[in-house]
Amino acid sequence: MENITISIKIVKKLDSELTAEEALLVNSAKEATYKSYAPYSHFSVGASLLFDDGTMMQGSNQENSSYPCGICAERSALFAAGAQCPEKKVVAICIAARDTSGEFTSRPVAPCGACRQVMSETEDRQKSPMKVYLYGKEGTYIVRNVKDLLPVSFDASFL
Ligand code: THU
């Protein structure tokens, strides 16, 4: 028998501790929540991507009366990037969310499993890590890459 332990490092920063570039990314993700279409859950999620050329792209959750047709903020941003600028590398993604009260969540918002899977394939595709910023009013979690958030993951090497 073998015990395998996997641990990840999370850096938690208060707003005042973010670098200027990090603050821009976080604010972009927060701003993106206002473009969300969430008439069913009333949970507005925003995602912002930082590319290797310094530009950014936003995404937000887009719901539908046929619930499974909707898409999360992270995937809306990453698929838009894949469709519009596949040559750019995503060096970081930030996620923020406002709950049913309209306030930003206190806890750093966590990406769902499906989004982690798509985020993971972005890293594989571009062959470089994507930093993950999870915003909450009590602080922002910073994870150095997506694989840390999805250990023992399925990927194309199994196919
Ligand atoms: N949602 C996201 O946009 N990202 C996540 O990682 C978790 C959930 C959205 C989907 C749905 O529109 C709403 O939040 C409630 O689940």
Q: What is the DSSP string of the chain?
A: ---------EEEE-GGGS-HHHHHHHHHHHHHGGG-B-TTT--EEEEEEEETTS-EEEEE-B--SSGGG-B-HHHHHHHHHHHH-TTS-EEEEEEEEE-TTSSBPSSPP---HHHHHHHHHHHHHHTS--EEEEEETTEEEEES-SGGGS-S---GGG-
Region 58-63: what's the mean pLDDT? 98
Question: Ligand 1 pocket, 45 CB below 6 A?
Answer: yes
Domain that holds residue 81: 10-151
Q: Per the domain annotation, does 141 fall within a domain?
A: yes
Which protein residue's CA is at the shortest distance from atom 9 of ligand 1?
Answer: 72
Question: Is 158 a domain residue?
Answer: no
How many Å lie between the centroid of ligand 1 and the Cα of residue 149? 17
State the distance from the centre of ligand 1 to the C-alpha of 45, rounded, in angstroms: 6
pTM: 0.97
Q: Is residue 127 part of a domain?
A: yes
The reported pLDDT for the residue numbered 126 is: 98
Q: List, by residue number, the catalytic residues.
A: 74
Confidence of residue 158 (pLDDT cuts 50, 70, 90): very high
The CATH number of residue 65's host domain is 3.40.140.10
In a domain, 97, yes or no: yes
- Ligand 1 atom 14: the closest Cα is on which residue? 43
Domain count, the chain: 1
